[in-house]
Structure 1
């Protein structure tokens, strides 16, 4: 959702409107300028993933300043930056260190650029374009060492450490906190420590991470586990927490005998290679009552996860003059997206 249209100052006006630590109101515009600005599309440029190093420092501050200045001279409105959970809360539970990010944001402000920030609760590394490795916090991974089921798990038992399974959204496994509380506390700390930058309008958008690569999806096609296009991928709900949830849901539906699918194939299979997705019609598992129940449960868990984190974001940033955004993979059905958006607007 990086491409949503927003109204900002035109590039030629912005640099003259910075007063002290905040952005001042621009001078009055004539009718022609107002008409032009009504159709203005702001341009934001993504910062390198390693703008803040794994050691929580600004990488090459002067070189970055020079790059930001060139962006400004080119007429760019602002920059987008990942705010990595694994860096900020890396020292220990509840120990948030924001100094490097404040330095980065000040550099942008001094060069007349606005900010779109991403609450990145996933690990960096292993996805297309990932040039650096930034894992989730070490103390969270320590929990995972003792209990690997806090990670998404494939049918064959392979764990994916990019993002916590939604099966632990309500499990107080992380020094007494649930996964949802971890994300909410991080956002609250961000608001407290960036209050002045939020109030003065430097930060205009906050994109809330909801899953692997920041997207509302399962890690169904990890290259790190051998997936390659156009393989169908695999379901990722075989950790003990999601398995327990499914069994409870199936029991409530009157089918305690139902288990998670065991016929959906491997990462690089084609649909016709599997009984679950086979195109021959009558024999396809996904067309059976059990298959339809599973797919409804599987997608509903994901939508509920996104709803709950966005509810927390709405609560935390209530009163801030920022827009909240999220990334949703087109693989979700249009009906699922409409359902989530309808709840967001309610």
Structure 2
């Protein structure tokens, strides 16, 4: 019999021979360290004389009960895989429908080795009835089902509207009582130069304005997160909820809503600056005055949603963005976004302090015009990123203060998939993020922990198409490779992903220190074999196919 804590699957059973009141001799098998709910398995003694052959049989029985055997070195390369649930898994009227269908789908994901699911927790659903009136009942039912299917939960605090962005198949607005404020004060929403309001998300200009029954926007977000923790305390204590992604803008991303389809934007338009509400106008005027330039105004030459850079005075060659005034504006515009994310994440840290969770924030993968000198689409979204200025590392540095993860989109995209006119560079953008995250996924290390590794991968999203036989087999292969060819491992501590209690945010980082991270760093070399091999596969799952192929090979 092996000692306690052994990972061997051989002879870990205790065996006891006994005779019942009918004179039948039996053998009782039970684990050395009894497992809750498993009292043992009894067999006729005649079936199990203690021969070598039957010891092998007993070992096989135990292996089945104890779980899979792992290659401990390869297991250190294990990357957990999650799948996003449908946007309307809880409906606008706060109902959790189609539970039987979802249960079968979740069980199928679990059988494929998936570690967990990601769920949008919509502010517009939970606090719909009025300020501080929270109804978590539908989400509790959903979380119970997920728990029963043995899947972990990544919960998104979705403070934005669903509808108006790429992939939004349903409409879930922010609460009506918030929209009612806009009837008399439309400046609570982001606004472009023409005065068009965007109701997807509250402008960061009202983060500290007590306009909502005496509460500021940040207080609203904080109260919501505190209520979520209190209502879901049992799921936190059970270790079921492991990630909290905090929505920080349109589509839940830390960005300005610069390219809204609802206002006519189409790819690859450069988008528009969204800082013309009265609060941000006043903020910029104060900043410019303090800088000794009270005459400076917000840009009037930034163009319109579907312009190309060369059609604007701001982004054209030798345009405004290269002038002192342009640089001042872009620094102010991007800094406001940094501060916005920093302050809300500090409230999130307070709300979930002590919970065994990771905080996360999402950054948009704006790849169009990346190969143009001006990076126009990134700049209108608030990412002041140029060849000589890194716009993403300051965000990563800010997140580090809150022990938060950076979630990034467009990982699966290829340059050749985009039209040449867009000057897209998704692969180069991903390379830049490898630097930002100190990450380069260059295959599994057969000899132990890799030097650098993704924390996890979340697939967008659960659908009938994903569950089609061919696609799902491909997906199962992907999961297996992300797991370094190991079986599903329910214990994150075995692959160095154990999550401890969330610690308090570190001291505030001065904006000047955050901006020190704008100095560019040389990118990691692009490995054609392991870094998203390109082989011309097209179609809906083409990107996933290529990414799967990129992890089929070990170095």
What TM-score results when the alignment is normalised by the length of structure 2? 0.56
Q: Which moved more, 1:233-242 or 1:30-39?
A: 30-39
Which of the residues 92, 96, 119 maps onto 1:58?
96
Displacement of 1:28 in angstroms is: 8.4
Secondary structure of the structure 1 residue equivalent to 2:271: coil
State whether structure 2 residue 353 is matched by structure 1 residue 295. Answer: no
Shift of 1:336: 2.8
Task: Work out which of the residue numbers 116, 119, 141 in structure 2 matches 1:78.
Answer: 116
- Residue in structure 2 matched with residue 152 of structure 1 by the alignment: 190
Q: Is the 8 A contact 1:50 1:59 kept in 2?
A: no
Distance 2:274 2:203 in 1: 9
Deviation at 1:343, TM superposition (A): 3.7
For residues 198-241 of structure 1, the C-alpha deviation after alignment (integer angstroms, 9 at most, x for no partner) is 01101111111110000000000111111111111100000011
Q: 1:244/1:163 Cα in 2 relative to 1: closer, same or farther (>3 Å)?
A: same
Residues 94-243 of structure 1 correspond to what in structure 2 (within 5 A)?
94-243=132-281
Paired position in structure 1 for 2:16: none
Q: Which residue of 1 aligns with 2:73?
A: 35
Q: In the TM superposition, what is the alpha-carbon distance from 1:30 to its structure 2 partner? A: 9.8
The answer to whether structure 1 residue 93 and structure 2 residue 131 are counterparts is: yes
2-side partners of 1:328 and 1:18: how far apart? Answer: 42
CA deviation profile, 1:126-166 (whole Å, cap 9, x unmatched): 11111110000010000112111000001001110000000
How do 1:266-305 residues align onto structure 2 when only pairs under 5 Å count? 266-279=304-317, 281=318, 284-305=319-340
Measured in 1, the distance between the counterparts of 2:36 and 2:147 equals 9
SS of match in other structure, 2:133? coil
Q: Which runs of 5+ in 2 are unaligned?
A: 1-34, 38-64, 366-377, 384-390, 404-505, 507-555
Q: State the distance in 1 between where 2:400 and 2:110 align.
A: 37
Q: Secondary structure at the match of 1:163?
A: strand
In structure 2, the residue matched to 1:11 is none
Contact 2:119 2:153 in 1 (8 A): yes
Change (3 A) 1:220 1:237: same
Deviation at 1:39, TM superposition (A): 2.2
Tell me the distance in 1 between the aligned counterparts of 2:145 and 2:245. Answer: 20
Higher mean alpha-carbon deviation, 55-64 vs 186-195, is at 55-64
Residue 328 in structure 1 maps to residue 363 in structure 2: yes
Secondary structure in structure 1 of the residue aligned to 2:199 = strand
Q: CA deviation at 1:34?
A: 3.5
**Deviation of residue 36 (structure 1)?**
4.3
Give the distance between the partners of 2:164 and 2:141, measured in 1 at CA: 28
Q: Do structure 1's residue 255 and structure 2's residue 313 form an aligned pair? A: no
**1:344 and 1:113, CA in 2 relative to 1: closer, same or farther beyond 3 A?**
closer
Shift in Å, 1:329: 2.5
Secondary structure at 1:326 match in 2: strand
Pick from 298, 319, 325 the counterpart of residue 354 of structure 2.
319
* Structure 1 residue 340 corresponds to structure 2 residue 375: no
Contact (CA 8 Å) 1:18, 1:112: kept in 2 or not?
no
Structure 1 partner of 2:538: none
- Using the alignment, how far apart are the partners of 1:344 and 1:300 within structure 2? 18
Greater helix share, structure number: 1
How far off is 1:64 after superposition? 1.5
Question: SS at 1:117's partner residue?
Answer: strand
Number of residue pairs the alignment of both structures matches: 320
Q: Does 1:245 align with 2:283?
A: yes
Q: Which moved more, 1:136-145 or 1:66-75?
A: 66-75
Q: Find the aligned partners of 1:78 and 1:344 in 2 and give their Cα distance.
A: 23
CA distance in 2, matches of 1:341, 1:163: 21
**Distance (Å, rounded) in 1 between the aligned partners of 2:326 and 2:86:** 42
Unaligned runs of 5+ in 1: 1-16, 20-26
Aligned in 2, Cα 1:252/1:76: closer, same or farther, shift over 3 Å?
same
**Is the deviation greater in 95-104 or in 254-263?**
254-263
1:8 corresponds to which residue?
none
